[in-house]
Each structure stands twice: as C-alpha cells, then as structure tokens.
C-alpha cells in the first residue's frame, strides 16, 4: 500500500512539473498559455501532418487558382501576429464545404467552399479565420491540454489500479476540449477581421461569408435529414445566424478602427464594388465539381457567371440545370440568395453547366 502511495505521489509530481514547464506567451494576447510544444516543434508537426494530408487528399489541379489563393493568403498572413511563419495555402479537390489549418502555418481550403464565395474579400475572410487559428496556436493548445489529461489519466489509473479509468479521464478531456470551441472560433473570427482590415479588406466580409456558410449549413442539415445521413458543415459556423449573433458582430466591429485608407478591397455590398470581383469571377469559372463517375470520364459540372435577364429566375434555371437534386436551392446558395431570393436584372449570376 505504501508503495502505491509513493508511486502516485511521484506521478502527481511529474504531472505538476509538466504543467509548470508548459507555459508560453501567446503571440496574440501576450498572456501565458499552457503549451507543451515549442514553435520549431509546432512547425515540424505541421509539416508531418501536411504530408499525411497530401497523401490522403487530392490537390486541385489548377496552378492559376492555387497561385491566386496563395496570393490572397500571403497578403493576410503578412499582417498577422506571426508573420515570420512560412505559410502554405492548398486548395483541396473535394466538394465538401470546409477549410482548416494545421500547426505551423499550413492552411487548406476546399473547392467546395470556394463555390459559395462571392468576392475576394470573402475568400480573404475564410483564410483569415484559419490564419487566426494558427496565430493563436489553437491546435497546439488543444494538443497540450489533451497530453495533460492523458498524463492525469495515467496518475488516476495508477492510483486505482484500474486501467479503464484512464479511458474515463480521456473522455472527460475530450469534453473539456470541445467546451471552449466556441471561444476559439470567435477569437479566430476577431483575428481574421483584424487581418482583413490591416490588409485593406472590409472586415464586414467576415460577417458576409459566415452568413453565406450558415445558409449552406441549414440547407445541408435539411438535406441530410431527408437522405438519412450525417450533415457535413464548416466548423466555423455556430448555432446562431450571424444576423442575430451580437457577440460575433461586436468582435468584427472592433476591427473597423484598423481599416486602411488606401486601396481598400471592400466586400460585396459596398456601393463602389461589383457583386463579383473580376479576378474572383475568373476563378469561379475555373473550377468544377466532379463525381466519382465523372472523374473516370474526365468531364464534370462547371461554374459559369452570366448576367441576369428579365426572363430569368431560379425556378426556370433549376429546370434546365444539370444539378441532379435540389437545383433551385443550390443555385440560390451559390448566389447568396437563399432561401427565397431572386436575382436582379443585370446582376452577375453563378450558374452550373
């Protein structure tokens, strides 16, 4: 019994020492965070996981699009809290609506999410949000917390002699990590909005793009229920629509004071901006949605941009669209007019061919 007590005390001492040694200055806030990884280790870990991602996911084969996304991303990264990192921006060839970041500056965005963006500012907003995860070291902090709970589980298992107690502690650790997801996502929205303003974009583009993605999520949930499957949604969207999310509106409004006065790259709703940036419209035409069968045939659906005529509405477009299901809703989502909006005459309009 005495030996068990000594073992437990030793493990607790090791655990306490680990906690004390695992503090580092947060690059964003300047506060002390609990982390068990240096910046060089973070970069090495990101490079390792990047190799795995590229083995498991296909990169979208369009050098021009890749260069454009990288150009926008690098502009945002340059004004971030960690401009010294070597940032990598990759377009993943999947219709899934998603974007995500790995430690050390590896950012990924899918062609699926690109289809729903309507300006370069919105693209910058998505990339800025993911850069915010990197600068605030969210993944590193989560990994460190998970490691700490694993150590605590070992201590608990040794104390009770029941290995299963480590699994119970692991479950608790996962619940603890998921509990502050909202705060980290909100922090990334705030940081992303700041980076937009510093690089000449309108920070309100963050609200615009979250609104677009929230509409897409709501439609995806409805569709998933009908198809009896799990919904697939972008991780940066919360239960409350941005139109009603006061906290989100407040943190993004804070970035307005950082706006530059020269060559402002505004969002979609400013008076001096077309609905679609010329460059972004060219990008919209450049990518396509391939099913498994279509990949074998090397053909697929493509986005195109046209101008709305007086005789065009979404119900008519849906009847002639090659989109196999929910064509009317999909077309509205692509043009940020979901659920019941109609295009105005002369307005640029995304269609699927």
Three-class SS state of 307: strand
Q: What pLDDT is attached to residue 33?
A: 61
Residue 63, φ and ψ in degrees, nearest 5: -60, -35
What residue has token string 């260069």?
A: 67
Enter the pTM of the model.
0.75
Contacts with 153 (C-beta within 8 Å, 6 or more apart), sequence order:
165, 166, 167, 168, 169, 170, 173
Q: What pLDDT is attached to residue 91?
A: 97
Give the HSE-up count for residue 225: Cα atoms under 13 Å, Cβ half-sphere: 5
Query: Cis omega (within 30 of 0) on the bond before 339?
Result: yes
Q: What pLDDT is attached to residue 160?
A: 41
CA distance 21 to 34: 9
CA distance 300 to 287: 10
Query: Is 43:104 a contact under the CB 8 Å cutoff?
Result: yes
What residue has token string 């409805």?
A: 222
Query: Is 4:155 a contact under the CB 8 Å cutoff?
Result: no
Query: Tokens in use for 320?
Result: 């002639």
DSSP string of 176-232, one letter each residue: HHHHTHHHHHHHHHHHHHHHHHHTTB-TTHHHHHHHHHHHHHHHHHHHHHHHTS---
* pLDDT tens readout for residues 233-255: 766 666 666 766 777 788 788 88
Query: Is 209:128 a contact under the CB 8 Å cutoff?
Result: no
CA distance 301 to 298: 11
Residue 170 pLDDT greater than 50, yes or no: no
Q: What proportion of the chain, given as a percentage, has pLDDT over 90?
A: 41
Query: Tokens in use for 87?
Result: 């940032």
b/e map 33-62, b = 16+ CB within 10 Å: bbbbbebeebbebbbeebeebeeeeeebeb
* pLDDT tens readout for residues 188-244: 899 999 999 999 999 999 989 988 888 888 888 888 899 888 887 766 666 666 766
Where is pLDDT greater, at 252 or 318? 318
Q: What pLDDT is attached to residue 156?
A: 43
Residue 14 pLDDT greater than 70, yes or no: no
Query: Is 60:66 a contact under the CB 8 Å cutoff?
Result: yes
The neighbour count for residue 104, using CB atoms within 10 Å, is: 26
The neighbour count for residue 109, using CB atoms within 10 Å, is: 23
Residue 172 pLDDT greater than 70, yes or no: no
Residue 72 pLDDT greater than 70, yes or no: yes
DSSP state of 60: P
Mean pLDDT over residues 242-271, rounded?
67
Mean pLDDT over residues 294-299, rounded?
52
User: Among 6-10, 75-79, 214-218, 287-291, where is mean pLDDT lowest?
Assistant: 6-10
């Amino acid at each position: 019994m005495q030996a068990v007590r000594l073992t437990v005390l030793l493990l607790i001492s090791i655990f306490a020492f680990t906690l004390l040694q695992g503090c580092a200055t947060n690059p964003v806030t300047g506060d002390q965070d609990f982390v068990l990884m240096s910046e060089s280790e973070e970069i090495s870990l990101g490079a390792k996981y990047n190799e795995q991602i590229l083995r498991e996911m296909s990169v979208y084969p369009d050098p021009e699009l890749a260069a454009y996304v990288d150009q926008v991303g690098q502009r945002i990264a340059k004004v971030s809290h960690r401009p010294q990192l070597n940032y990598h921006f990759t377009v993943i060839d999947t219709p899934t609506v998603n974007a995500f970041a790995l430690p050390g500056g590896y950012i990924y965005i899918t062609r699926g999410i690109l289809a729903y963006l309507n300006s370069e500012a919105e693209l910058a907003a998505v990339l800025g949000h993911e850069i915010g995860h990197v600068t605030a070291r969210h993944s590193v902090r989560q990994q460190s917390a998970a490691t700490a709970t694993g150590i605590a589980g070992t201590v608990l298992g040794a104390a009770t002699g029941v290995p299963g107690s480590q699994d119970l502690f692991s479950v608790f650790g996962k619940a603890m990590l998921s509990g502050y997801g909202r705060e980290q996502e909100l922090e990334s929205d705030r940081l992303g909005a700041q980076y937009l303003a510093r690089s000449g974009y309108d920070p309100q583009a963050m609200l615009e793009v979250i609104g677009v993605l929230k509409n897409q999520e709501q439609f995806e949930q409805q569709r998933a229920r009908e198809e009896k499957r799990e919904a697939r949604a972008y991780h940066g969207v919360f239960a409350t629509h941005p139109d009603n999310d006061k906290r989100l509106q407040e943190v993004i409004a804070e970035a307005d004071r950082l706006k530059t006065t020269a060559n402002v790259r505004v969002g979609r709703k400013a008076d001096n901006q077309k609905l679609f940036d010329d460059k972004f419209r060219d990008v919209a035409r450049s990518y396509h949605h391939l099913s498994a069968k279509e990949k074998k045939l090397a053909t697929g659906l493509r986005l195109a941009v046209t101008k709305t005529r007086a005789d065009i509405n979404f119900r008519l477009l849906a009847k002639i669209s090659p989109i196999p299901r929910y064509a009317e809703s999909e077309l509205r989502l692509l043009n940020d007019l979901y659920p019941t909006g109609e295009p105005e005459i002369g307005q640029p309009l995304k269609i699927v061919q």
